[in-house]
Amino acid sequence: MSETVKISEEQEVKQYFNELLELCPRCQTAEGRKLIQKAFDLANEAHKGVRRKSGELYILHPLAVARIVADEIGLGAKGVAAALLHDVVEDTDYTLDDIEGIFGEKVAGIVDGLTKLEGVFDQTRSKQAENFRKLLLTMVEDIRVILIKLADRLHNMRTLDSMPEHKRLKIAGETLYLYAPLAHRLGLYSIKSELEDLALKYEHPKIYHEISSKLTDYQNKTKHLITRFSLPIIERLSSEGYEFDIKGRPKSIYSIWRKMQKKQIPFEEVYDLLAIRIVFKPKPGIPEKAQCWTIYSLITDIYKPKPDRLRDWVSTPKANGYEALHATVMGPEGNWIEIQVRTERMDEIAEKGFAAHWKYKGSNDKESELDNWLQRIREVLDNPDSDSLEFLDDFKLNLFSQEIMIFTPKGDVKVMPKGSTALDLAFEIHTELGYKCIGAKVNYKLVPLSYELKSGDQVEILTSEKQTPKYEWINFVTTAKAKTRIKDAFKKERKVIIRQGEKKLEEALNEKKLTTNAKILKKLQKYYNLPSKEELYFKIGRGTINLDNLNKILSDKTANKWVRYWRLSFGKNKMVKKKTGKDGKKTQMVVSDDMEETEDYTIAPCCNPIPGDDVVGYLDENDKLILHSRKCPVAIRLMSSQGNRIVSAEWESHKILSFLAVINLSGIDQIGIVSKITKVISEDQTVNMRSIHVESHDGIFEGTIYLYIHNTEDLNNLIFNLMKIKGVHNVTRQERIHGN
């Protein structure tokens, strides 16, 4: 490398460091600057000569992480120093003791939490899940650990282009499953949105770029509308003496995509793309909440509000500290426009989350919500017997994005995840209350334990001394605390039942001159759709599963529920095309017409991808490829917990194999509508219909059609042709297939 390049790189590093010091408002004391300088000097020396996969100097990564921590999250000198040092122990010869000796116990503790676990793992445990668990253990002692980890993940996502595709999929899946919800839970809205957008960019690049392009066009076309909408508001608020900032708030690409998926609508029908945010400086002597409502009142004097779209997080902030008033009003050209009203303090907390609370500490008691949440995490972590993947799912339950407010008989408020039941609330109040719970009174009406609560319900828990916990309760609780407490109550009994189930299965197999092996267990797990062999043994032990039909399950090839398609009997069979990494592991697979479907790969029934869909491969214990759609929740969970088994996969031309697809239709019922639909399908040479079911009521028809199809292109052409039929209003593909 030439001397000139060296000098320019060193200058770039120096400039980056100087910018970091300027961008850190909480690092401006002489002591703070000295600590950061010392951390930078050590990290720069430790990572000397090392480069990232992108080719840039490695030190630029910790510098970028420290910059996010300082500027976008708002941590102080110790947090910034720990961010600069976060990879030193893991990647260089420095030890944790060295860091503690130079920087003290606090900084060393944070760095320890950010250092991945080493050593050999139990093969049944997920390395990703174990690392995440360790991170959380340190987080409950010092929240800065997770804030720096989120900054580290954000910079890795911003520079993910240089990684191979299977690694990109693993990191993007993990980000979507754990880190984005975690950022949301900690109130880091801008980081959460960017993580989600970047995950979408790498999991579904075509979709990402398509929505991004449409959004840019839409914003350019509606600039005049936002200006026209804002002018009367600016005049009114200025005349009332408010100091404020008003600007358009672009909706994130990921949130638009989610809405399109959820409502099965195109981009053009997402109606809340237009939004503005008003951030004002509160007038002294008047409560902030009252001023938010005054501004809302002034705006609704100009524009008519949509009554069901008012969201008041000023009176009762979200559990992550978020405060704002949201409303949707009718704009000047017949467009619904969302408005958000916040004070400067609320805006900083919304952008920087709990880190910003430190700045306002003492002004209110919102931070106790963070303490409550951390306490819940401690409770999940305190269960040493839990399987690491089960732990990940339990933890995910604590990352709820939607909350409901529940009132106690005395009028106290409890914030619970959406979907919580009366029993969840009982366990939330006290474990013993959960164990003795027999029902509840919701708004003075008697309801069962499984009753799903709604925001605003007033709930009284009913108990009986004779009540004992039932294991079946686990099926209708949603919070991690309730699930953990129910499991705790049955821990000893569960182990005994599992042993009994194992013995029963062994005896049943011995009668058939068979012994328990991985293949048989896998077949039984798939047949009964169970996540682990322990759960299988438990259900056998309890008698929930009897073994009368063991012969049928073991001999019937259709018991393998993965296979959801058929194959025409021509075409020679070739080997699956594979790419392997340096360690000899498969990293990419190409699924072609000539592959043997039952031996080389199978289609996951949870999402049923067909050629043309974005897919990802998961290698099971037998090294068999299972294809999932990249947007499938099961696939996202696998990427986040078993990333080493993920391979990137793609389709080649599929004109030999046919795959099962389902479409749903609806429209105005007319004479002959069914024959018109079947005529279009029968005329399409690329499609075979398996079955059709149509129901009509009140002049509207709804239908479901099962088809054998080659790829998404053929399916989209068929949908386009069906939409041309007069009376057909909606045709969509159903991605989860039931009952076939």
Tens digit of pLDDT for each residue in 74-106? 888 888 999 999 888 888 888 888 888 998 888
Report the range of poorest mean pLDDT among 226-240, 265-279, 355-369, 697-711: 355-369
In this prediction, residues 236-243 reach a mean pLDDT of: 94
Residue labelled with tokens 């000139």: 4
Q: How is residue 154 written in tokens?
A: 């954000």
472-487 per-position pLDDT tens digit: 898 889 888 888 888 8
Q: Among 446, 457, 449, 445, which Cα is nearest to 427's?
A: 449
Range with the largest mean pLDDT of 90-104, 307-321, 645-659: 90-104
108-158 per-position pLDDT tens digit: 888 887 876 443 334 445 666 666 666 666 666 677 888 888 899 999 999
Q: Give the fold, CATH level 3, of 208-352.
A: Beta Polymerase; domain 2 (3.30.460)
Answer for the pair 288, 324: CB distance below 8 angstroms, yes or no.
no
- Active-site residue list: 90-91
State the alpha helices, DSSP H only, in 320-383.
Answer: 344-352, 354-357, 367-381
Q: Among 314, 286, 300, 281, which Cα is nearest to 233's?
A: 300
pLDDT category of residue 303 using cuts at 50, 70 and 90: very high
pLDDT at 726 over 70: yes
510-526 per-position pLDDT tens digit: 888 888 887 788 788 87
pLDDT at 716 over 60: yes
Range with the largest mean pLDDT of 385-389, 416-420, 530-534, 549-553: 416-420
In this prediction, residues 680-688 reach a mean pLDDT of: 81
Q: What order of strands is seen across the sheet that includes strand 615-619?
A: 577-580, 586-591, 646-651, 615-619, 625-629, 601-603
Contacts (Cβ under 8 Å, ≥6 apart) of 127 = 117, 121, 644
State the alpha helices, DSSP H only, in 430-545.
Answer: 431-436, 480-489, 491-511, 518-528, 533-542
Q: Among 574, 660, 644, which Cα is nearest to 611's?
A: 660
Phi, then psi, of 311 in degrees rounded to 5: -125, 115
Q: What is the pLDDT, as a whole number, of residue 264? A: 79
Phi, then psi, of 570 in degrees rounded to 5: -120, 165
Task: Identify which has the larger pLDDT, 555 or 249.
Answer: 249
DSSP letter (8 states) at residue 451? P
Q: What is the pLDDT, as a whole number, of residue 7? A: 60
Report the range of poorest mean pLDDT among 238-242, 305-309, 349-353, 680-684: 349-353
pLDDT category of residue 424 using cuts at 50, 70 and 90: very high
In this prediction, residues 221-229 reach a mean pLDDT of: 86
pLDDT category of residue 669 using cuts at 50, 70 and 90: confident
pLDDT at 175 over 70: yes
pLDDT at 657 over 70: no
Task: Identify which has the larger pLDDT, 570 or 28.
Answer: 28
Look at residue 244 and give its three-state secondary structure.
strand
CA distance linking residue 738 with residue 740, whole number of Å: 6
DSSP letter (8 states) at residue 576? P
DSSP string, 378-437: HHHHT-TTS-HHHHHHHHHHT--SSEEEEE-TTS-EEEEETT-BHHHHHHHH-HHHHHHE
Query: Taking CA 357 as the corner, what is the angle to CA 351 and CA 363, rounded to the nearest 5 degrees?
Result: 130
Q: How is residue 471 written in tokens?
A: 């294991």
Burial 643-657 (b: 16+ CB within 10 A, else e): bebbbbbbbeebeeb
Phi, then psi, of 23 in degrees rounded to 5: -85, 5
CA distance linking residue 554 with residue 512, whole number of Å: 11
Q: Give the fold, CATH level 3, of 3-188.
A: Hypothetical protein af1432 (1.10.3210)
Residues 658-734, CATH architecture: 2-Layer Sandwich (3.30)
In this prediction, residues 264-286 reach a mean pLDDT of: 87
Q: Give the whole-number percent of the chain exceeding pLDDT 90.
A: 18
Q: Among 487, 519, 477, 476, which Cα is nearest to 387's?
A: 487
Amino acid in the structure at residue 219 = Q
Query: Does the pTM exceed 0.75?
Result: no
How many distinct helices (H) and strands (E) make up the chain? 30, 21
Count CB-CB contacts under 10 A for residue 7.
Answer: 10
Report the range of poorest mean pLDDT among 177-191, 563-577, 595-609, 657-671: 563-577
Q: At what angle do helices 105-114 and 144-158 cross, to 10 degrees?
A: 50
Count CB-CB contacts under 10 A for residue 162.
Answer: 12
pLDDT category of residue 453 using cuts at 50, 70 and 90: very high
Instruction: Please provide the average confidence, as pLDDT, over all residues in the chain.
Output: 79
Q: What is the pLDDT, as a whole number, of residue 375? A: 65
Q: What is the pLDDT, as a whole number, of residue 566? A: 31
CA distance linking residue 299 with residue 230, whole number of Å: 10
Structural domain boundaries in the chain = 3-188, 208-352, 402-489, 492-559, 565-651, 658-734
> CA end-to-end span of the chain, whole Å?
62
Q: What is the pLDDT, as a whole number, of residue 133? A: 67
Parallel, antiparallel, or unpaired for β 687-697 and 625-629? unpaired
DSSP string, 38-72: HHHHHHHHHTTT-B-TTSSBTTHHHHHHHHIIIII
pLDDT category of residue 54 using cuts at 50, 70 and 90: confident
Q: Among 116, 128, 113, which Cα is nearest to 175's?
A: 128
Q: Which CATH superfamily is domain 402-489 in?
A: Beta-grasp domain (3.10.20.30)
Answer for the pair 187, 354: CB distance below 8 angstroms, yes or no.
yes
Residue labelled with tokens 């919500």: 369
pLDDT at 582 over 80: no
Largest CA distance in the chain: 89
Handedness of CA 49, 50, 51, 56 (dihedral sign): negative
CA distance linking residue 520 with residue 502, whole number of Å: 13
In this prediction, residues 298-312 reach a mean pLDDT of: 90
Task: Identify which has the larger pLDDT, 674 or 137.
Answer: 674
Phi, then psi, of 12 in degrees rounded to 5: -60, -45
Q: What is the pLDDT, as a whole number, of residue 354? A: 62
Q: How is residue 299 written in tokens?
A: 């705006």
pLDDT category of residue 689 using cuts at 50, 70 and 90: confident
